[in-house]
């Protein structure tokens, strides 16, 4: 017990703000979050994904596979199970904003102790390295080396290489108004807000030297199954922009805030609700309905060609969510996953951002104000550029396909 208290004091008192995870596949920076009790936590999807493992929730447990070894974390309890033995932790694993978080101690102490021949943690550099990972550059050279792996190519003022192109998808349009916007000005619908924000994101990205392909620039309907196809050859990522809402029920106008989704099986009923709401837009389509049936979604989710971008989509979603948190006046509802039809045909990292609730008066005012829309657009553009820059640093490649 004394040892556990001492470990907790160390974990809670001197935690880094971020750690880097280095493997032969590249290096990933993961931000440390402070949990409700002050405990330092890491997003499980980012940590486990960087180590080439998997994570899923089963009842009261988070099941993690790393290096082909299974771990089970009791959600809300400071314990984990390994080799059929229950072991104590300084802090519990938890689900925060629909995202699984693991104690920082798992990366800094547990893995290096159990697999000393495979993992090493350097507390001075806040770096977890896997066997086979390149050594960190000397401190005096670190910035130069990381920022200029392919120094024969000039970089843009934003720090990224030229030649990037992304697809921006303003949700709904034409005969599909999206949600009616209970607290929007008269006549303004979701489709109008998503288009305005999307056009502002295009403007901000182009100003940063990133080319943009829009699924729509006017009030027109684009089939759900066709939108992802705009992000094909030469496209780095796909960003779909939407506005959330709730059906009328007691207290429904109180819910507010923003959340970012990537494509995977939904973990909560609320995530499934949002996916159903957005997928219901297929009813406005005619000829395309048969070509892109919603019933095929379960099969698409298991498609290996899609899953190769799952980790990158999760990292992109986390970056977008963090940037929105800096400018949004509402609640940070976290990174989530669900089965959105609009994301299924994008063969690149693809996410869907719900920028707020039209059924909340504060969100409604923020989403329809010129200042609010500009702040959201700047945050989204900054997040995209930051993700592209991080991808280049991790891989040495200018785009998410690994080659141009």
* pLDDT at 379 > cutoff 80: yes
Q: Give the pLDDT of residue 146.
A: 38
Please return the burial class of 372, using the count of CB atoms within 10 Å of its CB with bins 0-12, 13-18 and 19+.
buried
Q: For 5-18, what is each residue's pLDDT tens digit? A: 334 434 444 688 89
Distance from C-alpha of 173 to C-alpha of 157, rounded to nearest angstrom: 35
Q: Give the pLDDT of residue 4.
A: 40
Coil, helix or strand for 298? Answer: helix
What are the beta bridge partners of residue 62? 57, 73
Mean pLDDT calculated for residue range 146-174? 78
Q: How confident is the model at residue 397 (pLDDT cuts 50, 70, 90)?
A: low
Q: How confident is the model at residue 396 (pLDDT cuts 50, 70, 90)?
A: low
Q: Select the more confidently predicted residue: 113 or 394.
A: 113
Task: Select from 76, 124, 120 the least CA-distant residue to 102.
Answer: 76
Q: Select the more confidently predicted residue: 19 or 293.
A: 19
Q: Give the pLDDT of residue 288.
A: 43
Q: Give the pLDDT of residue 308.
A: 58
Sequence-distant (≥ 6) Cβ neighbours of residue 403 within 8 angstroms: 397
Q: For 203-248, what is each residue's pLDDT tens digit? A: 999 999 999 999 999 999 998 888 888 998 789 999 999 999 999 9
Q: Which two tokens stand for residue 331?
A: 């609640």
Q: Give the pLDDT of residue 337.
A: 82
Mean pLDDT calculated for residue range 86-114? 89
Q: For 21-45, what is each residue's pLDDT tens digit? A: 998 878 888 989 988 777 899 999 8
Tokens 């990205």 found at? 205
> What CATH topology corresponds to 165-395?
Aminopeptidase (3.40.630)
How would DSSP label each residue in 229-298? GGS-TT--EEEEEEEE---S-TTGGG---EEEEEES---SHHHHHHHHHHHGGGGG-SHHHHHS-GGGHH
Q: Select the more confidently predicted residue: 166 or 2.
A: 166
Mean pLDDT calculated for residue range 148-175? 81
Q: Select the more confidently predicted residue: 266 or 254.
A: 254
Q: Give the pLDDT of residue 114.
A: 93
Q: Give the pLDDT of residue 286.
A: 59
Q: How confident is the model at residue 84 (pLDDT cuts 50, 70, 90)?
A: confident
How would DSSP label each residue in 21-67? EEETTEEEEEE-EE-TTS-EEEEHHHHHHHTT-EEEEETTEEEEEET
Q: Give the pLDDT of residue 220.
A: 95
CATH 3.30.457.10 describes domain 2-136: yes
Mean pLDDT calculated for residue range 131-154? 55
Mean pLDDT calculated for residue range 77-99? 86
Q: Which two tokens stand for residue 390?
A: 């991080």
Contact 334, 97 (CB under 8 A): yes
Q: Which two tokens stand for residue 146?
A: 């990381």
* pLDDT at 255 > cutoff 70: yes
Q: Where are the domains of the chain?
A: 2-136, 165-395
What mean pLDDT, rounded, does the chain reach?
82
């Amino acid at each position: 017990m004394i040892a556990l208290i001492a470990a907790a004091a160390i974990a809670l008192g001197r935690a880094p703000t971020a750690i880097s995870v280095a493997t032969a596949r590249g290096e990933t920076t993961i931000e440390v979050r402070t949990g409700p009790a002050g405990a330092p936590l890491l997003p499980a999807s980012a940590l486990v994904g960087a180590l080439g493992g998997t994570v899923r929730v089963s009842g009261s447990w988070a099941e993690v596979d790393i290096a082909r070894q299974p771990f089970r974390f009791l959600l809300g309890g400071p314990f984990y199970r390994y080799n059929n033995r229950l072991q104590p932790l300084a802090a519990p694993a938890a689900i925060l904003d629909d995202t699984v978080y693991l104690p920082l101690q798992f990366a800094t102490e547990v893995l290096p102790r159990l697999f000393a021949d495979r993992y090493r943690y350097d507390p001075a550099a806040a770096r977890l390295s896997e066997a086979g990972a390149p050594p960190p550059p000397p401190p005096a050279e670190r910035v130069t080396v990381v920022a200029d792996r392919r120094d024969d190519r000039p970089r843009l003022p934003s720090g990224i290489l030229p030649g990037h192109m992304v697809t921006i998808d303003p949700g709904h349009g034409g005969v599909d108004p999206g949600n009616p916007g209970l607290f929007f000005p008269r006549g303004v619908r979701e489709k109008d807000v998503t288009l305005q924000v999307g056009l502002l994101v295009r403007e901000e990205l182009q100003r940063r030297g990133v080319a943009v392909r829009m699924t729509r620039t006017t009030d027109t309907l684009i089939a759900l199954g066709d939108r992802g196809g705009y992000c094909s050859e030469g496209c780095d990522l796909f960003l779909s922009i939407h506005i959330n809402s709730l059906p009328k029920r007691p207290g429904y106008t109180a819910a507010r805030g923003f959340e970012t989704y990537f494509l995977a099986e939904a973990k909560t009923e609320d995530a499934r609700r949002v996916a159903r709401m957005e997928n219901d837009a297929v009813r406005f389509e005619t000829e395309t309905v048969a070509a892109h049936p919603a019933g095929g979604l379960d099969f698409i989710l298991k498609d290996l060609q899609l899953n190769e971008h799952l980790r990158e989509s999760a990292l992109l979603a986390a970056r977008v969510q963090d940037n929105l948190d800096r400018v949004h006046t509402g609640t940070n509802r976290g990174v989530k996953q669900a089965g959105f039809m609009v994301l299924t045909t994008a063969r690149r990292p693809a996410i869907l951002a719900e920028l707020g609730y039209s059924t909340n008066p504060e969100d409604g005012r923020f989403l329809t104000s010129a200042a609010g829309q500009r702040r959201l657009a700047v945050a989204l553009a900054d997040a995209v550029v930051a993700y592209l820059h991080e991808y280049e640093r991790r891989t040495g490649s200018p785009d998410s396909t690994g080659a141009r």
